[in-house]
Chain A
Amino acid sequence: KAGVTQTPRYLIKTRGQQVTLSCSPISGHRSVSWYQQTPGQGLQFLFEYFSETQRNKGNFPGRFSGRQFSNSRSEMNVSTLELGDSALYLCASSQGRLNTEAFFGQGTRLTVV
């Protein structure tokens, strides 16, 4: 059974650009959550999607957005990149919203220069 796949693994962008990150959940999983991990702030919740609908949202500016497709794959987009957006972006998938286990991908490391 394939795990959670995030692409790309590494990305370098310049300030002001936009970026789209992709997450393919485990087959059969319908819930995808996104997190930003930085050394200073730890793991911060961005948003959760279930059955193509955003169910929860963290405290991030509107530059951060996401969506989920009918095959449960999810993308997150960050527009007008800032240096502070440099981080490891992790996604997690689970079968349902209240299931016991969420599986994480390896993450996409975004560097903004």
Chain B
Amino acid sequence: AQSVTQPDIHITVSEGASLELRCNYSYGATPYLFWYVQSPGQGLQLLLKYFSGDTLVQGIKGFEAEFKRSQSSFNLRKPSVHWSDAAEYFCAVGEGGAGSYQLTFGKGTKLSVIP
């Protein structure tokens, strides 16, 4: 069965600093990987996704993620964090075909930003 691990429950960074959120997955085949962001009281918004091809994926809001098969990782990065980036971030892996597709989410990393 697929699984996703986000090792950091809570990260605090200063505004303007760089950010890296870690995600490790367990999946037998080539994974479909996603990062979502959730602001307080809101649903989840897709930041970026990886299916195949270039292992460095660009997303919205200045985020990027790099797929590393050898490390089973899909870490999210941003060069300069803004106060509005404070939110909870979820990594997810997709499994199955068209008739049984499911997403498995990590437990999330809460990001706090210090002004």
Do A and B come from the same complex? no
